[in-house]
Amino acid sequence: MILTDEEKRRTYEEAQDLARAETEESLEQAMELFRSIRGFQDADRQYIACRTRLGQMRWKAESAMLKEQEDRFEAKVKRWKKIGLVSLAVLLLCIAVVTTVTLIRFRQYNKAAEFFTAGEYERSAAAFQAMGDYQDARARVFMSAVELYKAKRYEEALPYFVWLDGYPDHGYFLQHCQERLAAGK
């Protein structure tokens, strides 16, 4: 369809009005109108200007969206870094606590063993008893109590044999301690 100059002028003005609105939809409509009147005044140049502005608008919108996604990703990375650092700190703290407790128990065990070696059987038995089920502490309590028994220190040995309830041979020594104490020996 061939347009008259008056129709082209009205189309041109309508296209210019749409181009000023600066929305994607209005620029697309303006481009369509400028394309329909090619060769009229500077319609071709206006078409290119609208297409350029539309491209810039889309690029800005896409850039903003990418920036927002980038910001969200960076926030997640920061959050995970914090979680990782806190987890690492907690892990290191746990390792430090376990190591400290282990070292303390190891030193207590060695100190109790030193008491036994030095012939301080009551202190040895008490120290090993305080350690409960740590390593062979029950066996060491038994050995210390037997040494007290051999030294005829029945009154001191008796509570350890009572504590060793269920330990092999404790009953024999418990009974003999009780008998010796009852007999006054």
Question: For residue 69, what are the CA distances in angstroms to 55, 74, 108, 143?
Answer: 21, 9, 58, 71
Which tokens go with 160? 């350890």
Residue 32 is which amino acid? E
Residues of the chain with pLDDT under 70: 1, 185
| Length of the chain counted residue by residue | 185
User: Residue 38's pLDDT is what?
Assistant: 93
Q: pLDDT averaged over the chain?
A: 94
Inter-residue contact 140 to 128 (CB < 8 Å): yes
